[in-house]
Structure 1
Amino acid sequence: MKISDCMSSDVRIASPAWSIRDAARAMREIDSGFLPVGENDRLVGAVTDRDIVIRAVAEDKGLETKVRDVMSDEIIYCYDDEDLDAVATRMSDRKIRRLPVLNHDKRLVGVVSLGDLSQSPEDDGRRSAAALGSISTPGGEHVQ
């Protein structure tokens, strides 16, 4: 099964110029802790609720702090035609719960989450459970 078969294609994209307040409100609206960040029709980063807390609130930065100042700009992504197992392994290895999904023109076409993998008809529970177990193990640098 390919990632395009289980990803979420209705994705809200944040601007690096948004305030972290704007990003948090967008996250609340879509009930997600993750927003891809785009500029000039290109993916330039990702911001999570954890980024806002750890890189802004914990550092006493104000609510008008720009997304660009707290986002992860090391973008780990997958392509829409990649196999679920390969993507689950990448998520597990890199301790990532959500990945932007790009087409081969490097345009954002969706986001795949651990939850999406677990809902896949091909997942018997082992793939998503293994990925979650690895992701939840403490250690490593936070990237997105």
Structure 2
Amino acid sequence: MQVSEVMTREVCVANPQETIQQAARLMAGLDVGVLPVGDDERLVGMITDRDIAIRGVAEGKAPLTKVSEVMSNEVRYCFADQEIAEVLQNMGDIQLRRLPVVDRDKRLVGILALSDAVAAVANGAAGEALAGISRPGGLHSQTG
């Protein structure tokens, strides 16, 4: 099974000059915890809700702080045509739960969440539970 079969295709991209407040509002509206950061069609970073909380709020940064000040600059990614098993192994090795997905021209085409990949390949109750947990919304949703 390839990454393209389970990735999320419609991905909103934050701009490095946007504020962390704008990024947080976008995340809340989409019920996601991560946004790729792009500048002139180049993937330049990733920002997570944890980045905003730890590198932003915990450090006393204001809501008008630029995304570029708290985002992760080192972008790890996978290719849409890679095998899921290979990518899952890599995600475990580098301890990442979400990876941007690019085509062979390195254009962003989606995002892969560990939970989506595992749910797609796992059998039985664990796979079903993970699929349910991964579904947007629910009791602990930020948009509810």
TM-score range, shorter chain: 0.7 to 0.9
Q: Does 1:85 align with 2:112?
A: no
What corresponds to 1:29 in structure 2?
29
Give the 3-state SS of the residue equivalent to 1:45 in structure 2: strand
In structure 2, stretches of 5+ residues that fail to align are: 128-144
Structure 1: stretches of 5+ with no match in the other structure: 129-144
Q: What residue is the counterpart of 1:73 in the other structure?
A: 73
Report the Cα distance in structure 2 between the residues aligned to 1:123 and 1:42, rounded to whole angstroms: 33
Q: Deviations over 1:51-83 (max 9, x none)?
A: 001101011010000000000010010000000
Secondary structure at the counterpart of residue 56 of structure 1: helix
Output one character per residue of 1:3-24: Cα deviation in whole Å (capped at 9) or x when no partner. Answer: 0000000101000001000000
CA distance in 2, matches of 1:63, 1:42: 25
Partner of 2:123: 124
Query: How far did residue 109 of structure 1 move?
Result: 0.1
Aligned residues: 126
* Cα separation, 1, equivalents of 2:123 and 2:74: 31
Instruction: Give the superposed CA RMSD.
Output: 1.4
Give the ranges of 4+ consecutive aligned residues of structure 1 lying more than 6 Å apart after TM superposition.
none
Which residue is equivalent to 2:47?
Answer: 47
**Offset, 1:115:** 1.9
Aligned to 1:114: 114
